[in-house]
Structure 1
C-alpha cells in the first residue's frame, strides 16, 4: 500500500507544475525536451508520484515556464518537505510568506467540511477580508493587500458557479457573530452575506451556540476537511486532507485515522449546532443588532 502520509507536498508540487506548464502552453513532451529530461519524469512530477524530486528539475521547469521567484522558491520548499509523515508548513521557513500553500489544495477539492472561529476566506466580504489581511500584514503596501483580497475573492467562485459548485458544510462558533472585525458596518454586511450564502443548495452554514458549552470535552481549533472526489465516488486516488491552521503555521494530515477523528468531531459539533434555518435567523438578527 502506498504511504500517503509522505505524498501531500509532492501532490502540491505536481499541481502547481502542471498549472505552470499548461499556462505556458506546453505539452509534457515539449517541456521534457526543453529541460532535457524524459517525459515520464515530468509526468511523475506532475502526478506527485516521483519518489525523489530534484531541485534542479524544479528550477528548470520554473525557468522554462516563466514562474516568478516566489513560486519557484515555494515549489522548492515544498519539494524538500516531501518525505515527512504529517506535514507542518511553517510560514516564512522553507516556503515564502506570501505564497498560499493551502490555496492549491482548496482549488482541487470537491467537498469542504469545516469548523471555524472566524469567517472562512471563501465566505468573506471584501471589506472583512481587507481588514484581516491588513492586520496580519501591517508592513505590506496597499497594492499587496489588494492582490491578496482579490485572490480570495476569485477563490469564492468555486462555491457560487452555476455548474457543479463545490459543497461546503461549515460550523461557525457563535463568537464569529460577536467579534467585530473592522467596524459595525463591515460586520453587518458580513453577517448578511453569510445568511444569504446559506440559502444556496451547496452551502450549509450552522452556528455553534455558546449555550452548548464544549460538546466534545475539548477544543479542536479551526479545521477543514478537503475531499477530492465526490462522496459517492469509490476508489479515489487522491485521499482526503485535514488542514488545521495555527498562528505560526499549519498542519496538513492525510493519515486516514486522524481524518476520521476530525470527521467524528465535526459530526459531534453538527449535532448540537443550530439548524440551517435557525442559524440564518440568528445571523440576520445579529446583523440588525449591529446596524443599530
Structure 2
C-alpha cells in the first residue's frame, strides 16, 4: 500500500505510545479504560492507522506514561504532522529541536543502505570527527551540551556494533568524503583507520566511489539512506521501508514504493561504478598514511 509522510508520522507516534505503555507495564485494556476509549481505538493509535488522534486523548496518554514536557510536545507535533497530506519535515517547526525523528527510525531499522558524497556518515564517525562537525554547526554551544550531542551520535552506533543482532550497514562513500578535512589531519587519519576497522565487521560493508568514476547517475546525487525494517515470518516487510534525504534546511522522508524502487536502483547504479571491497580498503589505508596515521 502506498504511504505518504503523514502515515510515517502516525507510525512513529504509535511506536512511542506503545513503548510508553509497555514500559509502564499497562495492557491495552487498562490504558483504554483510563482514557475512556476502547482498546481497539488505542490499538489503532499504536499501529499508526488512526486517521486522527484527539488532543485530550494524547495529553492523557502522555501524562499516564510519564512523558516529560519536551517529549509531550514532540508527540503532539507528530500527531499534527500526521494530519498533513505531504510532509516536508523541518526541525524546529512542530517538534523540539533536540527531538530527532530520524534517530527513532534508525534505531528500529535492520538494514541501512547509505550513499554519502561529501562526509563520513554519523554511524561511522569517530568521536573527534563528530565533535568537529557538531562544533561547525553549533560554534558557541556550551561544553556540556556539545558533549551531549557527541555522546548521542556515538550511542547511535551501538545499533551497528552490538553483538546481538546488529543492523546491517551497507555504505558507499564518494572519494571526496575522504579528502575533505574535518578537524585536522590527526582526526582524519584516525577516521580512516576507524573505517578500516568497521569494514572488518560481518554486518558492515564500505565501498569507495572514486573520482575517476565521474557521475554514474548522470547527475550529482546528494546523500541518502534507505532504511529497511526486516521481514515477518511470511517474508513480507515488517514495515514499509523509508528513504531519508538530508538537506541544509529540512529533511525529506519518502515512503512510496516507486520512490523506494528508484533509490534502490540508484544505489545499485553507483555500486557498479564503485571500487570493490579490497580496492576500497587499499585506498583507505593510503589515505590514512597521507594523514599521518
TM above 0.5:
yes
Deviation at 1:128, TM superposition (A): 1.3
Task: Indicate the residue corresponding to 1:218 in structure 2.
Answer: 219
C-alpha distance in 2 between matches for 1:174 and 1:287: 13
Relative to the length of structure 2, the TM-score reads: 0.93
Task: Indicate the residue corresponding to 1:185 in structure 2.
Answer: 186
- Note the 1:217-256 alignment, pairs <5 A: 217-230=218-231, 234-256=235-257
- Contact map agreement 2:229 2:240 (CA 8 A) in 1: yes
Uncovered stretches (5+) of structure 1, i.e. residues with no partner: none
C-alpha distance in 1 between matches for 2:158 and 2:214: 34
Task: Indicate the residue corresponding to 1:102 in structure 2.
Answer: 102
- Contact map agreement 2:160 2:169 (CA 8 A) in 1: yes
The CA deviation string for residues 177-207 of structure 1, in whole angstroms up to 9 with x for no partner, is 1111112211111111111101111111011
Call closer, same or farther: CA 1:76–1:15 in 2, change over 3 Å: same
- Contact map agreement 2:2 2:255 (CA 8 A) in 1: no
Call closer, same or farther: CA 1:135–1:24 in 2, change over 3 Å: farther
C-alpha distance in 2 between matches for 1:135 and 1:36: 49
The CA deviation string for residues 132-160 of structure 1, in whole angstroms up to 9 with x for no partner, is 12222234332222222222222211212
Uncovered stretches (5+) of structure 2, i.e. residues with no partner: none
C-alpha distance in 2 between matches for 1:86 and 1:264: 24
Paired residue secondary structure (1:291): coil
Task: Indicate the residue corresponding to 1:89 in structure 2.
Answer: 89
Task: Indicate the residue corresponding to 1:274 in structure 2.
Answer: 275
Q: Is 1:55 equivalent to 2:55 in the alignment? A: yes
Paired residue secondary structure (2:177): helix
C-alpha distance in 2 between matches for 1:119 and 1:182: 13
Paired residue secondary structure (1:205): strand
CA RMSD after TM alignment:
1.9
Q: Is 1:4 equivalent to 2:14 in the alignment? A: no
Deviation at 1:102, TM superposition (A): 0.3
- Contact map agreement 1:224 1:244 (CA 8 A) in 2: yes
C-alpha distance in 2 between matches for 1:43 and 1:145: 39
C-alpha distance in 2 between matches for 1:49 and 1:7: 8
Call closer, same or farther: CA 1:29–1:135 in 2, change over 3 Å: farther
Paired residue secondary structure (1:158): helix
Give the total of aligned pairs. 291
Deviation at 1:41, TM superposition (A): 2.1
